[in-house]
C-alpha cells in the first residue's frame, strides 16, 4: 500500500493538514513520536490535573461570523463551527514595566487610548505605525527583502520604552529571533494579539487537539502515535518512503513534515548537503505552573496575561544564565470569561531560558537547578507583584530540555528557526514542511500553516 | 439531474464549506463571494468537492463560470445532466 501523504507530527499544523487531505479522500497517515497529541502545544497530566504546555491563550480571537480573519479562515477550511472551539475571551491583559503599564483587551481602541494616556507625545506616531501595520501584506509567501522591525518602529516612535513595551508581548508570543523581529512577523503578531486578541478554549489544548484528531479519523485518516520517523527516504532526489522507529517502512508519494526544517533534513536518506548551512532557533523558555488554593484574583492577580519587565529596558535574547528573571509572562487561566469557573486557581510564569545551559547540567544538578531558578524567578516577580507563595498547593516546572525531549525541536526552540521557509519547499522533491519553521506562528498560525501547505502542495 | 437538483448539490457543497453561513437566501445572480464571503481558498474547496463527489474537473480557466449560483448551474448542468442524483 502506498500513501498519498505521510504527515510527520500530530501537532496543530500536522493535524490541520491531515484533515484537509483526508477531507478530499487522500490516503494520509500522521506519524507522531510522542504518545500525546500536540507537539509544541500539548498537555500533560500530573496528580490528576491536566496542564497545557505552550498554550497560555489563543491569539487571533475574532467573533463568530467574521470569516476573513485567520480564525475565520481556519474554521472554514477545517469545517468547524465557531462554537466547536468553545472559545472564552480574555478579560484584560497588561504590559507592565517599572514606570509604565499598558492594559489591553480584545477591543483595539482600548489599547490606543492607553497609549494616548501613558505616552501622550507618541500617540501620533503610534497611530501612523498602526496604519502601516494594517495595510501591510504579511501573508505574502514570497521571500521578499528582509525587513527588521526596530528601524521601522523607530521611524514612528522615539520613546524606546514604548517600543520595548510593544515588542514585549509580540516577541514572547512568537519571535524566533533575538533582539529584533522580522517586520512581517511583527505585523502578524501585532494583529493577532492587539488588533484581534486572546481567548482560551474551554477544556484547554487537550479539548482542541482531540476535536481535530477525531475529525481527522472520522474522515478516514490514519494516526500512528508513539512511533517517530527514523529516516525520510529519497530516490533520485524524490521522496518515496519513510522508515519509522520500529523499522516499519511506509511508501508514500509525498511527505509533509512539521518537525522543523533542519530536523527534517537531518532525517533524509541520502543526506542532504544543505543541512550544515541552516540556521537553527535558539529561543526557548522555562515555565513554572503554580496551582493556588484560591482564585488568582483574590491574590491580587486579576489580569488574563501580564507581560512584564522588571528593568526599564526589555531584552529578548538567550540569557547568559539558565533563565532570565528580569522579564517574563504571567498567565492566569482563571481570568478568561469561562461559562463555569475552573476547578483550580492556576498561575503560570514563563521566562526566557538557555537550552545550552540546561542541557549541560548533570542529571543531579538539573533537578536542584529547576528548584533554585524557580525560586529566583519568583523572588524577582514578587518585587513587582503580590506574593502567592503561601497559597501554592502544587507546582511543576519544565525547561528547554523538557521541550526538546518531547517535541524533538533542536534547542527546544519553540518558535523554530529565525529564517522561515515560507513556501514550505525543501531540496528534496515532494518533501515539504509546515508548522513552526514555515512562518505562521502561534496556535492559529500553526494550524493555518498546515492548511496552506496542504492546499499549496498536496491538493492541487 | 435537473436544474433544480444541480442547484441543490451546489447548496449542499456550500453548506459543508461554510457551516456558519445562512445559505437559504442566496440570490442566483449576485456573486457568491459577496453573499457568503468566499475567498480563493474556499473556491478551491468548491472545485475539489465537485471532483470528489462527481468526478468533475473544472479547469482553472473556467473558475469564472462559478462566480454566481446561476453561473454554476448553467456550467454544471450539461456536465451532470446524465447523472442520477447522488450524495
Which structural domain range is residue A327 located in?
A: 282-414
Chain A residue with CA closest to B47: the answer is A460
Residue B26 inside a domain? The answer is no
Do A370 and A297 have their domain in common? yes
* Joined grid coordinates for residue A454: 496542504
Q: Which helix (H) or strand (E) holds A431?
A: strand A431-433
* Joined grid coordinates for residue A447: 494550524
Residue A92 inside a domain? The answer is no
Do A113 and A135 have their domain in common? yes
What would the mean pLDDT of A268-296 be, rounded to a whole number?
Answer: 90
Do A221 and A335 have their domain in common? no
Closest approach of chain A CAs to the CA of B77, in angstroms? 23
**Set of chain A residues whose Cβ sits within 8 Å of the Cβ of B51:** 24
**In the prediction, which pLDDT does A348 show?**
96
- Give chain A's mean pLDDT: 94
Residue A205: closest CA among A418, A423, A12: A12
Residue A266 inside a domain? The answer is yes
Give whole-number Cα distances, A412 to A259, A264, A302, A352, A356, in Å. Answer: 12, 15, 31, 12, 10
Question: Domain end: A161, A192, A223, which one?
Answer: A192
Write the residue in B17, B20, B37 that is nearest to A81 by C-beta: B20
For the cut 80, the answer to whether the pLDDT of residue A255 exceeds it is yes
Which structural domain range is residue B72 located in?
A: 3-17+31-80
Do A337 and A383 have their domain in common? yes
> Phi, psi (5° rounding) for residue A282?
-120, -20
**In the prediction, which pLDDT does A56 show?**
85
pTM of the full structure: 0.92
More confident position, A290 or B3: A290
CATH number for B38 = 1.10.1200
For the cut 90, the answer to whether the pLDDT of residue A442 exceeds it is no
**In the prediction, which pLDDT does B25 show?**
87
Is A76 in Cβ contact with B17 (below 8 Å)? yes
Residue B10 inside a domain? The answer is yes
Question: Is the confidence metric ipTM above 0.85 for this complex?
Answer: no
Q: CA B28, B33, B38, B39 torsion: positive or negative?
A: positive
Number of domains in chain B: 1
**In the prediction, which pLDDT does B29 show?**
92
Do A247 and A293 have their domain in common? no
**In the prediction, which pLDDT does A53 show?**
86
Query: Coil, strand or helix: which one is A199?
Result: strand
Do A262 and A155 have their domain in common? no
Residue A394 inside a domain? The answer is yes
Least confident of A70-79, A436-445, B3-12, B70-79: A436-445
**In the prediction, which pLDDT does A215 show?**
98
**In the prediction, which pLDDT does A138 show?**
80
Confidence at A258, pLDDT banded by 50, 70, 90: very high
* Joined grid coordinates for residue A195: 488588533
Confidence at A141, pLDDT banded by 50, 70, 90: low
Q: CA A205, A207, A213, A215 torsion: positive or negative?
A: negative
* Joined grid coordinates for residue B19: 457551516
> Which residue blocks in A80-198 are alpha helix, DSSP H?
108-118, 123-134, 149-154, 160-172, 183-190
Number of domains in chain A: 3
Chain B residue with CA closest to A78: the answer is B17
Confidence at A312, pLDDT banded by 50, 70, 90: very high
Do A326 and A237 have their domain in common? no
**In the prediction, which pLDDT does A143 show?**
62
Residue burial B11-38, b: 16+ Cβ < 10 Å; e: rest: eebbeebbbbbebeebeeeeebeebbbb
* Joined grid coordinates for residue B85: 442524483
For the cut 80, the answer to whether the pLDDT of residue A344 exceeds it is yes
Do A182 and A120 have their domain in common? yes
Give whole-number Cα distances, A46 to A202, A206, A226, A390, A406, in Å. Answer: 19, 14, 20, 21, 16
Pairing of strands A431-433, A327-332: unpaired
Q: What is the C-alpha to C-alpha distance for residues A6 and A2, in angstroms, rounded to an integer?
A: 10
A residues 12-51 near B, CB within 8 Å? 24-25
Do A142 and A214 have their domain in common? no
Residue A339 inside a domain? The answer is yes
Q: What is the C-alpha to C-alpha distance for residues A239 and A241, in angstroms, rounded to an integer?
A: 6
Residue B40 inside a domain? The answer is yes
What would the mean pLDDT of A82-97 be, rounded to a whole number?
Answer: 96
Residue B24 inside a domain? The answer is no
Residue for grid cell 473556491: B43
Is B44 in Cβ contact with A459 (below 8 Å)? yes
Strands (E), A148-283: 199-201, 222-224, 229-235, 238-244, 249-257, 268-269
Residue A81 inside a domain? The answer is no
**In the prediction, which pLDDT does B86 show?**
57
Q: What is the DSSP letter of A182?
A: B
Q: What is the C-alpha to C-alpha distance for residues A404 and A411, in angstroms, rounded to an integer?
A: 6
- Give chain B's mean pLDDT: 87
Q: How many degrees, rounded to 5, is the angle at CA A324 between CA A407 and CA A379?
A: 115
Question: Residues of chain B whose C-beta is under 8 A from some C-beta in A?
Answer: 16-21, 36-37, 39, 41-42, 44-45, 48, 51-52
**In the prediction, which pLDDT does A1 show?**
86
For the cut 60, the answer to whether the pLDDT of residue A132 exceeds it is yes
Do A405 and A296 have their domain in common? yes
Pairing of strands A93-96, A305-309: parallel
Q: What is the C-alpha to C-alpha distance for residues A354 and A368, in angstroms, rounded to an integer?
A: 16
Do A446 and A400 have their domain in common? no
Orientation of helix A204-218 relative to helix A12-23, angle to 10°: 20
Do A275 and A292 have their domain in common? no
Q: What is the DSSP letter of A324?
A: -
Judge contact between A457 and A254, C-beta under 8 A: yes
Confidence at A274, pLDDT banded by 50, 70, 90: confident
What would the mean pLDDT of A331-353 be, rounded to a whole number?
Answer: 94
**In the prediction, which pLDDT does A440 show?**
78
Pairing of strands A101-104, A93-96: antiparallel
Residue A53: closest CA among A435, A414, A425: A414
Closest approach of chain A CAs to the CA of B78, in angstroms? 24
More confident position, A377 or A68: A377
**Selection from A54-58, A64-68, A203-207, A356-360 with the highest mean pLDDT:** A356-360
Amino acid at each position: 500500500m502506498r500513501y498519498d501523504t505521510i504527515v510527520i507530527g500530530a501537532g496543530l499544523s500536522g493535524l490541520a493538514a491531515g484533515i484537509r487531505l483526508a477531507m478530499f479522500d487522500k490516503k494520509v497517515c500522521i506519524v507522531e513520536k510522542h504518545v500525546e497529541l500536540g507537539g509544541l502545544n500539548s498537555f500533560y497530566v500530573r496528580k490528576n490535573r491536566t496542564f497545557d504546555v505552550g498554550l497560555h491563550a489563543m491569539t487571533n480571537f475574532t467573533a463568530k461570523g467574521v470569516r476573513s480573519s485567520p480564525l475565520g479562515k481556519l474554521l472554514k477550511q477545517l469545517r468547524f463551527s465557531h462554537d466547536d472551539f468553545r472559545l472564552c475571551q480574555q478579560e484584560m491583559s497588561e504590559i507592565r514595566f517599572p514606570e509604565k503599564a499598558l492594559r489591553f483587551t480584545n477591543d483595539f481602541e482600548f489599547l490606543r487610548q492607553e497609549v494616548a494616556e501613558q505616552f501622550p507625545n507618541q500617540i501620533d506616531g503610534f497611530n501612523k505605525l498602526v496604519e502601516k501595520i494594517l495595510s501591510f501584506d504579511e501573508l505574502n509567501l514570497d521571500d521578499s527583502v528582509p525587513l527588521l522591525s526596530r528601524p521601522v518602529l523607530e521611524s514612528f516612535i522615539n520613546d524606546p520604552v514604548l517600543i520595548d513595551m510593544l515588542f514585549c508581548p509580540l516577541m514572547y508570543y512568537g519571535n524566533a529571533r533575538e533582539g529584533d523581529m522580522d517586520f512581517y512577523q511583527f505585523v502578524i503578531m501585532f494583529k493577532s494579539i492587539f488588533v484581534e486578541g486572546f481567548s482560551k478554549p474551554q477544556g484547554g489544548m487537550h479539548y482542541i487537539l482531540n476535536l481535530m484528531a477525531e475529525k481527522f479519523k472520522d474522515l478516514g485518516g490514519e494516526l500512528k502515535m508513539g512511533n517517530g520517523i527514523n529516516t525520510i527516504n529519497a530516490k533520485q532526489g524524490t521522496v518515496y518512503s519513510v522508515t519509522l522507529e520500529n523499522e516499519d517502512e511506509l511508501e508514500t508519494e509525498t511527505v509533509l513534515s512539521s518537525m522543523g526544517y533542519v530536523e527534517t533534513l537531518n532525517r533524509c536518506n541520502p543526506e542532504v548537503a544543505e543541512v550544515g548551512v541552516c540556521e537553527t532557533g535558539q529561543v526557548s523558555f522555562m515555565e513554572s505552573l503554580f496551582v493556588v488554593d484560591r482564585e488568582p484574583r483574590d491574590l491580587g492577580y486579576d489580569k488574563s496575561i501580564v507581560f512584564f519587565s522588571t528593568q526599564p529596558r526589555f531584552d529578548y535574547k538567550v540569557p547568559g544564565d539558565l533563565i532570565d528573571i528580569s522579564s517574563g509572562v504571567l498567565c492566569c487561566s482563571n481570568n478568561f470569561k469561562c461559562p463555569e469557573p475552573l476547578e483550580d486557581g492556576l498561575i503560570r510564569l514563563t521566562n526566557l531560558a538557555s537550552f545550552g545551559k540546561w542541557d549541560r547540567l548533570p542529571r543531579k544538578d538539573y533537578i536542584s537547578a529547576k528548584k533554585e531558578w524557580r525560586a529566583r524567578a519568583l523572588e524577582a516577580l514578587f518585587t513587582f507583584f503580590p506574593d502567592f507563595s503561601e497559597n501554592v498547593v502544587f507546582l511543576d516546572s519544565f525547561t528547554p530540555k523538557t521541550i526538546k525531549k518531547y517535541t524533538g525541536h533542536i534547542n527546544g526552540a519553540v518558535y523554530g528557526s529565525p529564517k522561515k521557509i515560507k513556501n514550505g519547499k525543501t531540496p528534496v522533491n515532494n518533501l515539504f514542511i509546515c508548522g513552526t519553521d514555515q512562518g505562521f506562528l502561534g496556535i492559529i498560525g500553526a494550524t493555518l500553516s498546515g492548511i496552506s501547505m496542504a492546499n499549496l502542495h498536496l491538493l492541487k | 439531474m435537473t436544474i433544480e437538483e444541480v442547484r441543490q448539490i451546489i447548496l449542499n457543497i456550500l453548506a459543508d464549506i461554510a457551516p456558519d453561513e445562512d445559505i437559504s437566501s442566496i440570490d442566483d445572480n449576485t456573486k457568491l463571494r459577496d453573499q457568503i464571503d468566499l475567498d480563493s481558498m474556499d473556491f478551491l474547496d468548491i472545485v475539489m468537492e465537485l471532483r470528489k463527489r462527481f468526478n468533475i474537473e473544472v479547469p482553472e480557466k473556467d473558475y469564472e463560470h462559478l462566480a454566481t449560483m446561476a453561473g454554476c448551474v448553467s456550467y454544471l448542468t450539461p456536465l451532470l445532466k446524465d447523472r442520477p442524483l447522488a450524495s
